[in-house]
Chains A and B, each alone.
Chain A
Amino acid sequence: MRVRMTVNGEQVSGDVEARLLLVHFLRDHLRLTGTHWGCDTSNCGACAVWLDGEPVKSCTVLTVMADGHDVRTVEGLARGGELDPVQQGFMACHGVQCGFCTPGMLMTARALLDRNPNPSEHEIREAISGQVCRCTGYASIVRAIQWAADAGRAP
């Protein structure tokens, strides 16, 4: 099937099988390998991307469902060559270890801060509770998102 969509602000198209998962379209067809494939069952969140501004788990979205829609991945998070505050926060607070969960965490974190620029620790933990990190124990990720929230509020 022919699909067209916007990915990170660029028009893309492709001929895909109806069953092709969005995560594989992004990774194998568009070679946007920042989005990872971790569990197949929507539990780990390594595949989280935005579909029309909302975080979704791209391992359980068909590519054809994104036809005509707007997709944003971690590769589109930095703007004008400058890292997004959540990216900066993950660096400053050691929110990254192996880096495999990081793209999904970043996309979820940015979505949270866009909705709620001043989240409490519990709100942050709740927002990322659909993401699994096996390395960091989450505390540094929570701090990284708080760091980004603080940076976003700075004059």
Chain B
Amino acid sequence: MASDRDPVGHGRMLRKEDPRFLQGKGRFVDDMQVPDMLHLAILRAPLAHARIVNIDISAAQAHPSVQLVVTGTMLAGRGLAWMPTLTDDVQAVLATDKVRFQGQEVAFVVARDRYAARDALELIDVEYDPLPAVVSIRTALDPDAPVVRDDLPGRVDNRCFDWEAGDAAAADAVFARAEVVVAQEMVYPRVHPAPLETCAAVADYDPTEQTLTVWVTSQAPHAHRTLYAQLIGVPEHKVRVISPDIGGGFGNKVPIYPGYVCAIVASQLVGRPVKWSEDRYENLVSTAFARDYVMHGEIAATRQGRILGVRATVLADHGAFNAVAVPTKFPAGFFGVFTGSYDIEVAHCRVSAVYTNKAPGGVAYACSFRITEAVYLIERLVDCLAAELSLDPVVLRQRNLLRPEQFPHGTPTGWVYDSGDYPATLAEALRIAGYEELRREQARRREHGELMGIGVSFFTEAVGAGPRRHMDIKGLAMADGSELVVHPTGTAELRVSCQSQGQGHETTFAQIVAEQLGIAPAQVQVVHGDTDRTPYGLGTYGSRSTAVSGAAAALVSRQVREQARVLAAAMLEVSPTDLSWVKGSFHVTGDSAAVVTIGQIAAFAYGPGLPEGMEGGLRAQLTYDPPQLTNPYGAYICVVDVDPQTAVVTVRRFIAVDDCGVRINPMIVEGQIHGGLTDGIGMALMQMIAFDELGNCLGGSFMDYLLPTALEVPDWETGYTITPSPHHPLGAKGVGESATVGSPAAVVNAVVDALRPIGVRHLDMPMTPSRVWEAMTGQGQPPF
């Protein structure tokens, strides 16, 4: 691997995309202005559960700026009132029979400007017949609970699906004879990814050519193209999806939302481009939430701290429609990795998912398909066990972590971890933290009544989905294409199916090609986010870009290099096997003066001197089907202080040692980790989408749904180990979600550790001052 300062290939390199963002020249969907464009606004349900009695749109239609008003009944006439979700369910585009969550789409207006469109929404008169709402996940399956999904034939309850993994009988046997069993119920509350850019689309249907172009906030433009074509009935070859600069995704921009479909239908109906751009309230109350798992976990061990088994029973709230984005075979995502990073003999879990009168979604927000929940469960259980055994939580982890010689490791729930040296990574985190000294400091502070806590978590991720035979969404396999063209002048264009929402693909992928071809990254243009210009693939989520598309980019570069070898052989009049590759050029083995560079080869490839039988040009295309998932992992240590007077938690230090295999651009990798750590602190301390008993969403603005600012997070202390993935062509593993997955447990473990002297054993997120105060005193609100 090149050194950090090597201008060619891997290493720290400033981002190619920065100049446009720094000068206000980014191109986000809402920045789009297309000639003759109209604006669409959506009327949303004020109630969580209500039958629609009547909708009167006449006053809205009479508004002078309004071009079109559409209700669910009108969409039903086109067969578009309902659409398939990304899993095996349907979701209302516009409600017809009843509304099933507050904020659900009821009607839309198309008008000449965005203000007029919203004015006209006020003129739509909807008569509702309120129904009791199913709000609590714990009562959703009660026999007398109202049925949310009475649209589904034969549906008599709110059960969405049941899923289990592991061996229940074997786990029961181990738990029955275990010396120590510790149980803990924990709630992973509903949160929202809240990318700073909300969702938006500009749909432009050309009635003459019968083509559809959609600029849309999508993390998966190719999948969107296929699904729009299937849904709307425009042939797929006439649909172009463009996902330009995206202002953060975090999984929130994987699904297809009713607003996108409304914009497309509206453009078809009026024959003009239509923009839909939601506001923050709409984003928070209607688009994909994350988590909402109530988990009952148990861990069995010997008195010496050898973990024997783990089992869990989970209630999952999927909201009004099951709109999760997970591979088809995995309805609860990859929750099955809940044995974590440990050598555990048996495991069993059962997940029961329910419908409620809340927004649909269920899996988004940098979770690697539910691994966030799984890691939180096992890392809290391990800490509970450590407390029970009066063992240091680090010591307990050290006794049970998988050892390097155990890889590849098959888990009791059927997962295979590819590689790792867990003890070394934990040791590095302890070294950076100065763990022993921290424990001594804690003991001193406790003598003075100070509440200092130290929390540890160790996580293992499973990212980079496919392989295609196991992983698909709606029959679209998780494999990704890559195409590389070297132009006559020696510059290159890489076209990839993944899509950046801030991860810096234009830089990292240019570096991958540069490393393989021996040219400067500045000479590589990365094309992404436009289905007309890129090969097919499933897009960017689940930390899969470097793991899948990065592999595709490396392999396609190597194919081009082998073509270049054949061309070089013709140029130098030797056999291809007589050539040696030195970054950027081929020379005759043993004669370094007989050399041709990639640039010379490219000129030759398009020139008149090609030998008979050679096709000419220098390009290749392939689709990468990952042989298995990659397993980035890490050790995190969080140090907190809890104010005994106000119950405010301050994160004083956060140490993160990540192993994501080979790092293409360490600067970008670090940035990904920093962002995820902030998410972890946000979820642990403040973020929650709450509802009242009527199903009113209490988190509909940034005044109510709190996000960390620069004042709530510390300066990050990061480190790394590198255990290359054995099956990825570059040894990379992916990193985008690691820190979000691994950090919440460290924060919670730290706060519980701080409060242990006053008898606190567990605390649910978010650990707001009032919750911490209640845990400290057994009383409600703190005195301020």
Binding site for B on A (CB under 8 A): 17, 19-20, 24, 27-28, 31-41, 43-44, 46, 73-75, 77-78, 83, 87, 90-92, 94, 96-103, 106, 121, 124-126, 128-142
B143 to chain A, nearest CB (A): 42
14 A-B pairs in the complex with CB atoms less than 8 angstroms apart: A33-B28, A33-B30, A36-B196, A40-B701, A41-B702, A78-B23, A92-B14, A98-B195, A98-B245, A98-B247, A99-B502, A129-B709, A140-B674, A142-B710
Bound Cα distance from A91 to B194, whole angstroms: 24
In the complex, chain B residues whose CB is within 8 Å of the CB of A77: 23-24
In the complex, chain A residues whose CB is within 8 Å of the CB of B675: 97, 134-137
A57 to chain B, nearest CB (A): 12
Contact with A along B5-44 (1 / 0, CB 8 A): 0000000001101111111111010110100000000000
Bound Cα distance from A87 to B21, whole angstroms: 9
In the complex, chain A residues whose CB is within 8 Å of the CB of B15: 91, 94, 96
Residue in B246, B671, B676 whose Cβ sees the most chain A Cβ within 10 Å: B671
Q: B114 near A: Cβ within 8 Å?
A: yes
7 residue pairs, one from A and one from B, having the closest CB atoms: A34-B24, A98-B502, A99-B21, A100-B247, A137-B674, A43-B702, A97-B502
Bound Cα distance from A90 to B15, whole angstroms: 10
Q: Within the complex, which residue of B23, B711, B713 is in contact with A75, where a contact is CB–CB below 8 Å?
A: B23
Contact with A along B662-678 (1 / 0, CB 8 A): 00000110110111111
Bound Cα distance from A137 to B708, whole angstroms: 9
Bound Cα distance from A102 to B22, whole angstroms: 7
B250, A37: Cβ atoms closer than 8 Å: no
In the complex, chain B residues whose CB is within 8 Å of the CB of A92: 14
In the complex, chain A residues whose CB is within 8 Å of the CB of B17: 96, 99
In the complex, chain A residues whose CB is within 8 Å of the CB of B21: 96, 99, 102
Task: Tell me the number of A-to-B contacts counted with CB atoms below 8 Å.
Answer: 179
A27, B707: Cβ atoms closer than 8 Å: no
A74, B24: Cβ atoms closer than 8 Å: yes
In the complex, chain A residues whose CB is within 8 Å of the CB of B435: none
Bound Cα distance from A133 to B193, whole angstroms: 12
Q: Which of B241-263 contact A (CB under 8 A)?
A: 245-248, 250
A40, B279: Cβ atoms closer than 8 Å: yes
Given known pairs A91-B19, A99-B245, the reply for A46 and B196 (CB within 8 Å) is yes
Bound Cα distance from A106 to B738, whole angstroms: 28
Given known pairs A34-B25, A134-B196, the reply for A129 and B710 (CB within 8 Å) is yes
Contact with A along B270-283 (1 / 0, CB 8 A): 00000000011100
Q: Within the complex, which residue of A41, A75, A97, A132 is in contact with B709, where a contact is CB–CB below 8 Å?
A: A132
In the complex, chain A residues whose CB is within 8 Å of the CB of B279: 40
Q: B703 near A: Cβ within 8 Å?
A: yes
B503, A74: Cβ atoms closer than 8 Å: no
In the complex, chain B residues whose CB is within 8 Å of the CB of A129: 709-711
Bound Cα distance from A28 to B116, whole angstroms: 14
Q: Within the complex, which residue of A38, A128, A138 is in contact with B197, where a contact is CB–CB below 8 Å?
A: A38
Given known pairs A40-B279, A99-B245, the reply for A20 and B18 (CB within 8 Å) is no
Q: Within the complex, which residue of A35, A41, A73, A87 is in contact with B701, where a contact is CB–CB below 8 Å?
A: A41
In the complex, chain B residues whose CB is within 8 Å of the CB of A133: 196, 710
B358 to chain A, nearest CB (A): 22
Bound Cα distance from A98 to B248, whole angstroms: 6
Q: B715 near A: Cβ within 8 Å?
A: yes
Bound Cα distance from A10 to B28, whole angstroms: 25
In the complex, chain A residues whose CB is within 8 Å of the CB of B676: 137
Q: Within the complex, which residue of B30, B673, B710, B713 is in contact with A37, where a contact is CB–CB below 8 Å?
A: B30
Tell me whether chain A's interface is mostly helix, strand or loop, or mixed: loop
Report, as a range, how many residues of chain B touch the other chain: 35 or more
Nearest opposing residue in chain B for A32, CB measure: B24
In the complex, chain B residues whose CB is within 8 Å of the CB of A130: 709
Residue in A20, A34, A41, A139 whose Cβ sees the most chain B Cβ within 10 Å: A139
Residue in B504, B668, B715 whose Cβ sees the most chain A Cβ within 10 Å: B715
Nearest opposing residue in chain B for A20, CB measure: B115
Bound Cα distance from A74 to B674, whole angstroms: 25
Q: Within the complex, which residue of B22, B246, B668 is in contact with A98, where a contact is CB–CB below 8 Å?
A: B246
Tell me whether chain B's interface is mostly helix, strand or loop, or mixed: loop
Bound Cα distance from A102 to B24, whole angstroms: 8
Bound Cα distance from A26 to B24, whole angstroms: 12
Q: Within the complex, which residue of B28, B113, B115, B703 is in contact with A36, where a contact is CB–CB below 8 Å?
A: B28
In the complex, chain B residues whose CB is within 8 Å of the CB of A90: 18, 22
Bound Cα distance from A44 to B194, whole angstroms: 11
20 further A-B pairs in the complex, CB-CB below 8 A; given A98-B196, A99-B20? A28-B113, A28-B114, A32-B24, A33-B31, A35-B24, A40-B701, A41-B280, A74-B23, A91-B19, A97-B504, A99-B502, A102-B22, A103-B24, A132-B707, A133-B710, A134-B250, A134-B707, A137-B673, A139-B674, A139-B716
B677, A137: Cβ atoms closer than 8 Å: yes
Q: B501 near A: Cβ within 8 Å?
A: yes
B197, A100: Cβ atoms closer than 8 Å: yes
Q: Within the complex, which residue of B23, B197, B248, B715 is in contact with A87, where a contact is CB–CB below 8 Å?
A: B23
In the complex, chain B residues whose CB is within 8 Å of the CB of A39: 280, 701-702
In the complex, chain A residues whose CB is within 8 Å of the CB of B33: 28, 31
In the complex, chain B residues whose CB is within 8 Å of the CB of A136: 671, 674-675, 678
Nearest opposing residue in chain A for B739, CB measure: A137
Q: Within the complex, which residue of B19, B22, B25, B196 is in contact with A100, where a contact is CB–CB below 8 Å?
A: B196
A101, B196: Cβ atoms closer than 8 Å: yes
A94, B711: Cβ atoms closer than 8 Å: no
In the complex, chain B residues whose CB is within 8 Å of the CB of A31: 33
A132, B26: Cβ atoms closer than 8 Å: no
A96, B18: Cβ atoms closer than 8 Å: yes
Bound Cα distance from A41 to B279, whole angstroms: 10
Bound Cα distance from A37 to B29, whole angstroms: 12
Given known pairs A40-B701, A87-B23, A136-B674, the reply for A99 and B707 (CB within 8 Å) is no
A97, B503: Cβ atoms closer than 8 Å: yes
Given known pairs A98-B196, A132-B707, the reply for A36 and B715 (CB within 8 Å) is no
Nearest opposing residue in chain B for A84, CB measure: B22
A135, B671: Cβ atoms closer than 8 Å: yes
In the complex, chain A residues whose CB is within 8 Å of the CB of B115: 17, 19-20, 24
B667, A94: Cβ atoms closer than 8 Å: yes
Nearest opposing residue in chain A for B22, CB measure: A87
Bound Cα distance from A46 to B585, whole angstroms: 47
B31, A27: Cβ atoms closer than 8 Å: yes
In the complex, chain B residues whose CB is within 8 Å of the CB of A17: 115
Bound Cα distance from A97 to B193, whole angstroms: 16
B501, A138: Cβ atoms closer than 8 Å: no
A115 to chain B, nearest CB (A): 17
In the complex, chain A residues whose CB is within 8 Å of the CB of B501: 98
Q: Within the complex, which residue of B26, B250, B280, B713 is in contact with A99, where a contact is CB–CB below 8 Å?
A: B26
A46 to chain B, nearest CB (A): 6
Nearest opposing residue in chain A for B245, CB measure: A99
Nearest opposing residue in chain B for A103, CB measure: B24
In the complex, chain B residues whose CB is within 8 Å of the CB of A97: 248, 502-504, 671, 675
Nearest opposing residue in chain B for A100, CB measure: B247
Q: Which of B699-729 contact A (CB under 8 A)?
A: 701-703, 707, 709-711, 713, 715-716
B715, A121: Cβ atoms closer than 8 Å: yes
In the complex, chain A residues whose CB is within 8 Å of the CB of B194: 134
Given known pairs A41-B701, A87-B22, A129-B709, the reply for A138 and B678 (CB within 8 Å) is yes
Given known pairs A90-B22, A97-B671, the reply for A41 and B710 (CB within 8 Å) is no
Q: Which of B666-703 contact A (CB under 8 A)?
A: 667-668, 670-671, 673-679, 701-703
